[in-house]
Structure 1
């Protein structure tokens, strides 16, 4: 079966899979089939089970009073008028909250000082616009909102540091008194590269910015908590990527035993990493429900979500690359500063520490790397994981350095890439990662051929009104986060996954998983894995997740880990079921196990392939016929399994982009986009294509449109969808997808992560195409994003020289 061939050589598949979508697969052939997602019909017909659809009996509603100051001391909080409103149930401030701070779970792996505590509500000093100060509970959403308007907060304004540059300026005000230089942590990556740079014939240095992004999932954050005063239990419905971890957080913060907590995610309308951690405001909802003894519901509106949900990216890199005159890279060194916002949230440090720094070498065999990674406090919304979580930043830095080096040497950047590609696997990087498998040159070749790179490079001259540019970018993505054996690299605990399979006497199968989908297609992909191992019709397998009362413990969905880690756990559990069924079938047939074969959903005598027992017959016997059980065997075929991978997986690929720039307006139009990705063995090509499409769209958005901005007082300038731009379908091209498949040895299926790849490389591909166009008239380089005004000014500067 395809699930057991992780060492097969790489193969190339061209063309997207959307036109090959099917509704069913032959017995034992579900793995690798382009099945339509079984989740989609309920989503498309409005039958999804989203948070705002849940309204427990007796629900009251919460509205937060949030700071409108970026940095200020709270002098007083007057809640008296709000409390007097007849439809206001309660008003809570920090003085009322009896709870522990939100714990930091991914600490920097070096001594950097104890991070400031993150309390559920602020009482002394607020440090960003949107920080929660009080909560008003009303009998309706409207009464809670009206009551919140009546809470009066008196502030004493303090000096503000609204950006990386401001936080690091000489004499900058301190966001936290214990960190007078605003440096939250310093982490070295790599080793000493000074000898390489001292002897290098060529050194190229660049300052590169990664703009701040807001995640903007379709469904904002929200939570419902309901406390049963008689049973002393709490039910929680929440928009989260990690139900079991959320249960642990609530248990820790409110000192409620975990067995008294049930957390349900339901259908989650997107997350992109922003719903991975637990937030202070969510802790407040749990506290309020317990204090009031009734359900409390909070659902953020879009503007609130912009302020209070973690942002992504916002880094600045000062980097140098040392090379020979023929473009062979000898080393990279420099510093990467990451704006962490006002606080370190539970998983924020790992983004830059475990991903950006270690992945800076990308696809290239670079012997010397010397980096300093710094996390910086500022008076802005805290930064957290956002699709790619540190990897798009590393790819952008390296791919821009490749282009700048090629430009300095007068070489073709494609040739520079070829000259430096990693070619032998496993490959140990200078940053302590071990790449598992790949064929980087094959992906590059397919991308160049499909986009017609040679013809475009020769014929892209301006027609006077339009500049045409073509760019490519290669990438390596770390996935399968986070194996116990290497978790120390990003200050994380080891994150295994488990799956539990229930086999009904009819032969139907339920699969419970600890990962939690928010658009990835788990109900389809995991069913394909189990059906393939068990030789069942795909429709006979149903996947469950997102409810801590029924799903096995798991760490959640993030870091391109669900397929390589969660899927491997499903496979392991399914093998246990199959092997037990094989033994029972042999005993029922009066044969030795080696005399029975499992083929096409039947357990048959080796010499009589057409006879034997169906899986359903074996499942029935396992429950009702104790004579077929082996010594010490329990009735039934149920099984569970855990999987903790030996190492990360490393997806890779090359994307190519063609842009046209209107010289009169500076508007950048993407005419073609070709994606060639290697995510190892493919479980479902339809799902992979969809993930690539969505990721590429987000990377294009970072390159051309999105940029969350603050003024010099830390006030958000882009806090609504009227001000914060991202593309619609009309501004995106048709995505052309192709694949190279080099299976990973890090799991038995050979799969790698695919959920973030498109977002990791597309920003760099667009950037290289834009700079290729601008270079023809002597304009650039430019910082992200390449908005029309920024491009127009760059072109205008050329014409006025």
Structure 2
């Protein structure tokens, strides 16, 4: 049940209706391409080859086309003297970091590399003129998978020997070797996690306006992190003074990680605006966004689990080759290393883990964080291993999991790969999911259906998500080139109305609702009195953006901390007005009351007016009522849960029907249960998509053959089941709100749950593993190779 946004009751924990939706649903919301309607248009020429030397670029014919304003190449950008380098934001020992220029000048390294930009009065003229740019190439061999690229010639970058960008290890290899030698059983799985193409509703876009008189540059763009974009455009690509650069993210139609990063395209657009001293804009087509925007996953892994006869897990060993694409984006190195290896312990007490990851350059689009980044890949490995091990031991997969769960009294729990889990009741969530799905009855029904030649599969997946990367000092020690803090500003107006500014950046999650709920609850005011500002570097002092399920635990933590500071200042003003000691003044439901004298009270809105009048406030106190906090958490938060998928597989056709899907999630305290449920629904859909449908595919020449929505299989509404959702609540003890975050959890849990279910259904055929996506052909071929039905 939803409540009115005007309700003055306690709003934290209520399903308040999203205030974002009216403008989105009525078409009144403004997106990047709605800005600067009279701007010139930029179109970017992309390489048609995955690997080739550029011999010449002739732009003369394109420049003469009617309506074309200018044509620029990489040499023009180099000659302008800007820094011209997209940086990575996470350093690893021995990391190779080749320069990533805005436009290629020497050679192209993947199909889609930028070579030239046409600026024209009309969008269609700009795109038509791309055909007039004549580029001569010397084609080179291309390598597209992370295993075939190791040692391939010629290399993607001459600086990277064998195309290896990094060779990362985490854990105690000697302890793992000893545990494997002593264990009763060793279970092994070799698996691939294919590339995923993030597909937000709105492809990437940018619009730029430059005032030469003031040197002010304003860029509107599809950004999950406007302050990061401002900093990188200032320091790494354009060299424009940061204090004269404004980055604004208007409505952003989804992100899923893809819109965190600084790409050449928005820098090219801004550079053109400065060079021409006129407004310009660029809007990617869907196919352009597919070949140039970041991809996700792309892992090839060998994993082993050492287990005793009683089901006790002794150790895990994992070796992964991770495709990075041709260029390093900001978190490309963190995603397959620290975000991946550190989560392999999942919900389990595994005494020893060792993980090696080889990060490999390939002649493909860059790979970076996609929803669930690193955590989804790691949990998938662990949950597949547990199913394979359970089968090898003749145990029910839930029994093996239950045997190794971390117990509630073990928290805070330090894993063997360096994380310290804050809190958890893992067995309670797992029991609840199994109860909802009637697990024991399902197993009986499965056995009965097999007698009839029908193949039911039950897949269980437990997961932990590390959310809100922090604290900043620890992140820096591990190689991060940015902080893990967040900014929250709470400012009263004299009238008692409130503006909240936060450095997070909404792409559809509902921050304007949830952050308003936090502030309204802390301040005891109606939610309608709270306005939330995000996504504008001129209106928010700083910010670290939205990714990694950080908005609620870190952004919300910053807002709540500032609200509490405001209350404490207001308490002192109220005490002064009420002629009482501040320690004797209580605050509840927006009212300050003197203990034992209920008639002596003052509302916080009245205090705000007095704070701005400044006539009668404590000596040496500054007027005004506002606070700013740079909240830097002491640790990650760790959401968790159990997902169960029930499928029926038709072996003769490979059809998969998801009959039931149960999700029990624990994200700590819930700010808005309706929004939490919406996040879970969307996350499950993306997890199912990865399991059954989605895979970016390159041909032998490095061409993306799934480069449009005609070829790339996204799940449709008809492919998705009704979701049965429930939750447990285990607050984070170190978060001021007790929240943990939920943006990525469901994607992390859904993929292994569905794959485990399909493989479970095919057990009678001797199938113990299938690589994603589990298409009809994949399933049919596995059954046929096993001897058919």
Task: Compute the TM-score of the two structures, normalised by the length of structure 2.
Answer: 0.97
2:764 matches 1:776: yes
Aligned equivalent of 1:621? 610
State which of 259, 265, 271 in structure 2 corresponds to 1:281. 265
Aligned equivalent of 2:660? 672
- Name the SS for the 2:262 alignment partner: coil
CA contact (8 A) 1:49 1:266 kept: yes
2:253 matches 1:259: no
2:412 matches 1:426: yes
Q: CA offset at residue 610 of structure 1?
A: 5.2
Q: CA offset at residue 623 of structure 1?
A: 1.3
Q: CA offset at residue 213 of structure 1?
A: 0.3
Aligned pairs for 1:37-52 (under 5 A) are 37-52=18-33
Aligned equivalent of 1:348? 332
- Name the SS for the 2:161 alignment partner: coil
Give me the whole-angstrom Cα distance separating, in 1, the residues matched to 2:533 and 2:454. 52
2:429 matches 1:443: yes
Farther-moved stretch of structure 1 (613-622 vs 223-232) = 613-622
- Name the SS for the 1:166 alignment partner: coil
2:45 matches 1:65: yes
How many residue pairs get matched? 778
Q: Specify every segment of 5 or more residues in structure 1 that has no aligned partner in the other structure, as ranges.
A: 1-19
Aligned pairs for 1:525-540 (under 5 A) are 525-540=514-529
- Structure 1 runs of 4+ with >6 Å offset: none
CA contact (8 A) 2:470 2:634 kept: no
CA contact (8 A) 1:440 1:652 kept: yes
2:137 matches 1:186: no
Q: CA offset at residue 42 of structure 1?
A: 1.1
- Name the SS for the 1:478 alignment partner: coil
Q: CA offset at residue 609 of structure 1?
A: 2.8
Q: CA offset at residue 111 of structure 1?
A: 1.9
- Name the SS for the 1:747 alignment partner: coil
- Write the deviation string for residues 20-68 of structure 1: whole angstroms up to 9, x where unpaired: 22114764611111111111111111111211111254x1100000001
Aligned equivalent of 1:86? 66
Q: CA offset at residue 577 of structure 1?
A: 1.1
Give me the whole-angstrom Cα distance separating, in 2, the residues matched to 1:172 and 1:362. 38
2:615 matches 1:631: no
Aligned equivalent of 1:108? 91
Give me the whole-angstrom Cα distance separating, in 2, the residues matched to 1:51 and 1:255. 23
Give me the whole-angstrom Cα distance separating, in 2, the residues matched to 1:257 and 1:715. 39
Aligned equivalent of 2:569? 580
CA contact (8 A) 1:645 1:747 kept: yes
Aligned equivalent of 2:276? 292
Farther-moved stretch of structure 1 (571-580 vs 607-616) = 607-616
Farther-moved stretch of structure 1 (210-219 vs 488-497) = 488-497
- Name the SS for the 2:728 alignment partner: strand
Q: CA offset at residue 324 of structure 1?
A: 0.7
Farther-moved stretch of structure 1 (599-608 vs 767-776) = 599-608
Aligned equivalent of 2:111? 129
Q: CA offset at residue 667 of structure 1?
A: 1.2
Aligned equivalent of 1:505? 494
2:479 matches 1:491: yes
Aligned pairs for 1:304-383 (under 5 A) are 304-383=288-367
Give me the whole-angstrom Cα distance separating, in 2, the residues matched to 1:189 and 1:571. 36
Give me the whole-angstrom Cα distance separating, in 1, the residues matched to 2:352 and 2:652. 44
State which of 788, 792, 797 in structure 1 corresponds to 2:776. 788
Aligned equivalent of 1:723? 711
State which of 535, 538, 542 in structure 1 corresponds to 2:531. 542
Q: CA offset at residue 541 of structure 1?
A: 0.8
Q: CA offset at residue 695 of structure 1?
A: 0.5
CA contact (8 A) 2:90 2:333 kept: yes
CA contact (8 A) 1:359 1:391 kept: yes
Give me the whole-angstrom Cα distance separating, in 2, the residues matched to 1:610 and 1:755. 45
Aligned equivalent of 2:204? 221
Farther-moved stretch of structure 1 (214-223 vs 777-786) = 777-786
- Write the deviation string for residues 533-578 of structure 1: whole angstroms up to 9, x where unpaired: 1111111111111111111201100111111111011001101111
RMSD over aligned CA atoms reads 1.5
Q: CA offset at residue 489 of structure 1?
A: 6.4
State which of 242, 247, 252 in structure 1 corresponds to 2:225. 242
- Name the SS for the 2:662 alignment partner: strand
2:148 matches 1:160: no
CA contact (8 A) 1:90 1:138 kept: yes
Give me the whole-angstrom Cα distance separating, in 1, the residues matched to 2:698 and 2:88. 29
- Name the SS for the 2:664 alignment partner: strand
2:219 matches 1:230: no
Aligned equivalent of 1:10? none
Give me the whole-angstrom Cα distance separating, in 2, the residues matched to 1:465 and 1:152. 61
Give me the whole-angstrom Cα distance separating, in 2, the residues matched to 1:753 and 1:24. 22
Give me the whole-angstrom Cα distance separating, in 2, the residues matched to 1:714 and 1:26. 56
Farther-moved stretch of structure 1 (233-242 vs 785-794) = 785-794
